[in-house]
Structure 1
């Protein structure tokens, strides 16, 4: 029998501790070792038994979660899922959590916390299981691992919920468009993706092909993430807004809790940012972005699927491949969680499987297509 994932919950709210305990204990693949009210109590518990995953509150009276996380990752690295309130200020704090080595994030509102967490139960259990599978050797102690999307219900919708499947046409008009339209790159990532994306984007020159990214991440946090990358990279990085043009030297990151689709007007590509149901248990969804690229860019596009838990993006990457796009999957050795790339590879959707360090050079090849 497969061993259950052992979890230590750290939160100063008794209500949150009990709710998380109830949610995680209800999953047959998870065991709650203990629930601690602060890091000092937790440290004593860890001395008795080391958990597989820790869920960690940010704001606590005796020691804040970021300080404890830094100490933990320096002394005894354990996969950590941060538990944070959904606020603009919280987004800046959780950028620090990413840098300190957090694997994922669970959101909790200031009010109605129990109800919100119960609605997010599938998402919470998925986050814990993904963290347990994370390769901590690929998470720098001062790294920026991935953030997650909002709650995921049991029902799992496909990209059909947002737009119909691509229609592959072979007309003279399309062939002419393929010769005159700029190449664009679409990237999908989840757990472990924020650090991996940073490494890719830092290696791109200012005139690289336009890039659109779906990184599973909660609302409010994508703007802070984009601003941070913009300060580190030669390319311009921004959170995508409805109508933004996809152009050389620009990277658009899908806003949390909004789907982002690629569109085309003549030879111009732009993005549409819109509401909609969760697709593949995510909003934004990689499948939605990739399907839109298959429909409107076809052979003018490159699709890249990177580290992450689950299968979001696998089917969409296959559709891009069928439409003539060049498709790439990150390899297992460099993926923090080899879930999304593996599913795409098993589906036969990846033309190439490459390590993280080669993804930027693959993107630059798009300029010579």
Structure 2
């Protein structure tokens, strides 16, 4: 039995959630909250397996409620959000604060036909994720006031500095937070383009809001990839794979592809990593961040065998230690580190002012 707490101020939407979940006898609604404060109290009292969280709530917003829940009673949270731009920005803030996935609310069109099935599938998926206390809350509780953070572990030797031409990054569940940490930790003068595949809701409003949100969080030039863009023109920029299109590098330009999904994923991290391995070899770095499944592990191994420097996110900092774990088991990752320390190693490979 999977015990679910519904957090939604609309009685109509709560009824829709309740009825949709009732179609699966193993999904049991244990409570319904209509504002964020009530949600935090009920999570502490009922200890559900999953919380479905609306963002726009009275008294206490869904974002603030998410932050409290992840700091006090870590619970897998599925954000059920509309495509309104303000709500989408709150949704990505909630994902950065520890929520693990997002499902768009019904649109009122033909796409709603299988919405209930998608909700049930998402709840089941989220229920299997082992969440941790929100990192900031954990640090605040365990580190006495005034105590400096522990020094980083000694760095393993890296290839010759100044040789890095491109960074390829893959992420899935938990990716918004990990990407933010990595990009914020890169120095302002970091010039190699960063190509990124983030598994995310495929609808256009969700995708557009994600690129804008990530740019606002990191202060970097972030956009979606355009077919036939020369890689040389992307210095200092972060480029995302568009929704439902593979992103790859071929003959010095970005290419977008509608080829079949890999491991049910389009865009696929493997497709990006494999193309970068073939195209750039030892002049590229690959970073595989938090996510469920194994997309990216084979591609990261190919990057390493072609001479590229490869990183996987460490288990302690992952929301889901799935994709990075598969890479580590394959021996694909030369370095296993949290995102901020991956960024520090990348900066060592391309110090400010270095040239090809």
Question: Same fold by TM-score, threshold 0.5 exceeded?
Answer: yes
Q: TM-score normalized by structure 1?
A: 0.73
Q: CA deviation at 1:135?
A: 1.9
- Please, which of 105, 111, 122 is the counterpart of residue 108 of structure 1? 105
Which whole-Å deviations, capped at 9, do the CAs of 1:277-322 have from their partners, x for residues lacking one? Answer: 4322223221221122223222322111111122111122122223
SS in 2 for 1:297: helix
Residues 1-369 of structure 1 mapped to structure 2, 5 A cutoff: 5-11=2-8, 12=10, 13=13, 14-23=15-24, 25=25, 31-34=27-30, 36=32, 38-39=34-35, 45-46=42-43, 48-59=45-56, 65-66=62-63, 68-70=65-67, 72-73=69-70, 76-98=73-95, 100-112=97-109, 115-118=113-116, 120=118, 124-125=122-123, 127-129=125-127, 132-138=129-135, 183-205=165-187, 206-218=189-201, 219=203, 220-233=205-218, 235-246=220-231, 247-265=234-252, 270-367=253-350
Q: CA deviation at 1:36?
A: 2.2
Q: Give the paired residue count.
A: 318
SS in 2 for 1:124: helix
Q: CA deviation at 1:60?
A: 5.9
Q: TM-score normalized by structure 2?
A: 0.76
Q: CA deviation at 1:90?
A: 4.1
CA distance in 1, matches of 2:68, 2:332: 41
CA distance in 2, matches of 1:302, 1:234: 22
User: Structure 1: where are the runs of 5+ without partners?
Assistant: 142-179
Q: CA deviation at 1:38?
A: 2.8
SS in 1 for 2:350: helix
Q: CA deviation at 1:51?
A: 1.0
Q: CA deviation at 1:213?
A: 0.9
Q: CA deviation at 1:124?
A: 1.0
**What is the RMSD of the two structures over their aligned residues, measured on CA atoms?**
3.3
CA distance in 2, matches of 1:43, 1:197: 27
SS in 1 for 2:265: coil
User: Structure 2: where are the runs of 5+ without partners?
Assistant: 139-161
